[in-house]
Chain A
Amino acid sequence: MSWAWFHKLGSPKWFFSWSKPWALPVFCFGCLSLLIGLVWGLVFAPADYQQGNSFRIIYIHVPVAMLAQSCYLALGVAGFVFLVWQMKMAPIFIKAMAPIGAVMALIALVSGAIWGKPTWGTWWVWDARLTSVLVLFFLYMGIIALQNSLDDQVLANKAAAVISVVGLINLPVIKYSVVLLETLHQGPTFTLTKKPDMPPEMWLPLLFAVIGLYCFVAGLLIWRMQSEILKREYRSSWVKQEVTEHGL
């Protein structure tokens, strides 16, 4: 297998021209799939025999919570890539990804609280998963705050990479530690190895929503990275050429 594509990723110019045709289709596909999943789930899927209609918030809560975790994993991997290979795209990726992840963690917390009120009778419990998502949100905010307060670009790149990697190493420890506090939350809805317990007309829309949100975020991410590249490389001749030829 050739590793050329991996090395090419280090070049903002190459990434910019490669990703240009991808952003819009991925984003549109994501929107469409998300819309199908949400409409199907919120309107047509059968109500739960125990939780009634309040279970429908699963179609927002689960995809968002999955994204919140995946985003952090991606941040940590990007940080590692930057520390080891000094790849120029990695800090751009971190910068573009961190706010998205923070928003996802926040939506997961809020939607979880709204779901918790009718089912558990309380907005908030100090349960393992809730606490770990809250911590995840704090970690995201820390990365964003650090990047915003460092003026030196080189230092900001290093700093964000280091804190992402340290966060990724610590995340299992944090998760394990909060699991020792009591847990009220149900187990994971989707696992790769097992068939879901729900009937297909319930989990199929969820699958659509999850895939849709992933694509939606991927499209958003590509756009954010492209604008970050333009901001960072504004002195180079290819950006000037790009802007004069195609406009912004």
Chain B
Amino acid sequence: MTYSSFLVSEFLVLWRRKQDVFNALLFFVIVVVLFPIGINSSPEFLAPAAAGIVWCATVLAILMAVEGMFKEDYHDGSLEQLVVSGLSLPLLILLKIVAQWLTVVLPLLLMMPLLSEMLYLPSSGFWVLTMTLLVGTPSLFFIGVIGSALTVSIKQGAMLVMLLILPFYLPVIIFSTLAVKASQAGLPYSGLLAMLLAISLLSLVISPFMTAIVVKASVN
């Protein structure tokens, strides 16, 4: 096994289980739809709240996708193969995250124009929201995989991952929604985007190593 063959096989697995990716996307849309129906469907409420709604839905959808990331591999033994393969485990985990991020976030971004129309988000806010998604979602994946690896041996791990990981997502949600709000108020928002990028980079540095520690402990 090499790094490139691993990446190819990851994409192949994701392609063959496209229903899962599709489900995550559908889940995302349904959560977004809950807000106008449950709270208020007037443009006066939705336009300022749109960024928050989209981000809450994104966080939940990504957590659902990330939660099962190692489960299949753990049960069929391929996770053990990664550990004994002789390749760098943190790097393999990083590649896995990249594959997962591309397959989950890109369709989600493609949905954004449609959703922002449904939520009456003005076009200036739309571009900022898209940018926050681009720079913010990597950190969600990086932090999420730690939780996913921690609970890989537990049967009903989804709830536990939510409880463990959601507190860590708060800063990302806060910075993103503040950035969109600032742009809607005509204020500069590049500092907030830089903070999001900083969180993503920080988690990029920490997460693969932490996840590797946990994965090694889990497969023994």
Residues in chain A within 8 A of chain B (CB atoms): 83, 135, 138-139, 141-142, 145-146, 149-150, 152, 154-155, 158-159, 162-163, 165-167, 169-170, 173-174, 176-178, 180-181
Partner of B153, one of A139, A145, A155, A170: A155
CB of B215, distance to nearest CB on chain A (Å): 10
Query: Contacts A158-B213, A163-B150; is A180 near B178 (CB within 8 Å)?
Result: yes
Contact with A along B111-144 (1 / 0, CB 8 A): 0000000000000000000000000000000010
| 19 chain-A/chain-B pairs, Cβ below 8 angstroms | A83-B213, A138-B166, A141-B163, A142-B163, A142-B164, A145-B164, A146-B150, A146-B151, A149-B151, A149-B154, A149-B160, A150-B153, A158-B217, A162-B150, A162-B214, A163-B150, A166-B143, A174-B168, A177-B174
CB of A20, distance to nearest CB on chain B (Å): 32
Asked if A155 contacts B217 (CB within 8 A), the reply is yes
Partner of B174, one of A150, A152, A165, A181: A181
For residue A159, which residues in chain B have a CB less than 8 angstroms away from its CB? 150, 214, 217
For residue A152, which residues in chain B have a CB less than 8 angstroms away from its CB? 153
Q: State in angstroms the CA–CA spacing of A178 and B171 once bound together.
A: 7
Considering the complex, give the chain A residue whose CB is closest to the CB of B152. A155
Considering the complex, give the chain B residue whose CB is closest to the CB of A135. B167
For residue B171, which residues in chain A have a CB less than 8 angstroms away from its CB? 170, 173-174, 176-177
Asked if A138 contacts B163 (CB within 8 A), the reply is yes
Considering the complex, give the chain A residue whose CB is closest to the CB of B147. A163
For residue B175, which residues in chain A have a CB less than 8 angstroms away from its CB? 177, 180
Q: State in angstroms the CA–CA spacing of A181 and B175 once bound together.
A: 10
Considering the complex, give the chain B residue whose CB is closest to the CB of A170. B168
For residue A135, which residues in chain B have a CB less than 8 angstroms away from its CB? 167, 170
Asked if A145 contacts B174 (CB within 8 A), the reply is no
For residue A174, which residues in chain B have a CB less than 8 angstroms away from its CB? 167-168, 170-171
For residue B51, which residues in chain A have a CB less than 8 angstroms away from its CB? none
For residue B160, which residues in chain A have a CB less than 8 angstroms away from its CB? 145-146, 149
Asked if B150 contacts A169 (CB within 8 A), the reply is no
User: What interface size band does chain B fall in?
Assistant: 20 to 34
Considering the complex, give the chain A residue whose CB is closest to the CB of B192. A180
Q: Does B218 contact A (CB under 8 A)?
A: yes
Partner of B146, one of A145, A166, A180: A166
Q: State in angstroms the CA–CA spacing of A174 and B172 once bound together.
A: 9
Q: State in angstroms the CA–CA spacing of A155 and B164 once bound together.
A: 16
Q: State in angstroms the CA–CA spacing of A138 and B164 once bound together.
A: 8
Q: State in angstroms the CA–CA spacing of A16 and B174 once bound together.
A: 45
Considering the complex, give the chain B residue whose CB is closest to the CB of A139. B167
Query: Contacts A145-B163, A166-B168, A180-B178; is A173 near B210 (CB within 8 Å)?
Result: no
Query: Contacts A154-B220, A155-B217, A163-B146; is A169 near B206 (CB within 8 Å)?
Result: yes
Partner of A158, one of B163, B166, B202, B214: B214
CB of A225, distance to nearest CB on chain B (Å): 22
For residue B163, which residues in chain A have a CB less than 8 angstroms away from its CB? 138, 141-142, 145
Return the 3 tightest CB-CB contacts between A and B, nearest first: A177-B171, A158-B217, A142-B164
Considering the complex, give the chain B residue whose CB is closest to the CB of A144. B163
CB of A160, distance to nearest CB on chain B (Å): 9
For residue A149, which residues in chain B have a CB less than 8 angstroms away from its CB? 151, 154, 160
Q: Which of B143, B167, B171, B213 has the most CB of A within 10 A?
A: B167
For residue B217, which residues in chain A have a CB less than 8 angstroms away from its CB? 154-155, 158-159
Asked if A178 contacts B174 (CB within 8 A), the reply is yes
For residue A141, which residues in chain B have a CB less than 8 angstroms away from its CB? 163
Asked if A146 contacts B164 (CB within 8 A), the reply is yes
CB of B177, distance to nearest CB on chain A (Å): 10
For residue A181, which residues in chain B have a CB less than 8 angstroms away from its CB? 174
CB of B178, distance to nearest CB on chain A (Å): 6
Q: State in angstroms the CA–CA spacing of A152 and B206 once bound together.
A: 25
Q: State in angstroms the CA–CA spacing of A174 and B174 once bound together.
A: 9
Query: Contacts A150-B154, A162-B150; is A142 near B167 (CB within 8 Å)?
Result: yes
CB of A42, distance to nearest CB on chain B (Å): 34
Query: Contacts A141-B163, A174-B171; is A166 near B154 (CB within 8 Å)?
Result: no
For residue A139, which residues in chain B have a CB less than 8 angstroms away from its CB? 167
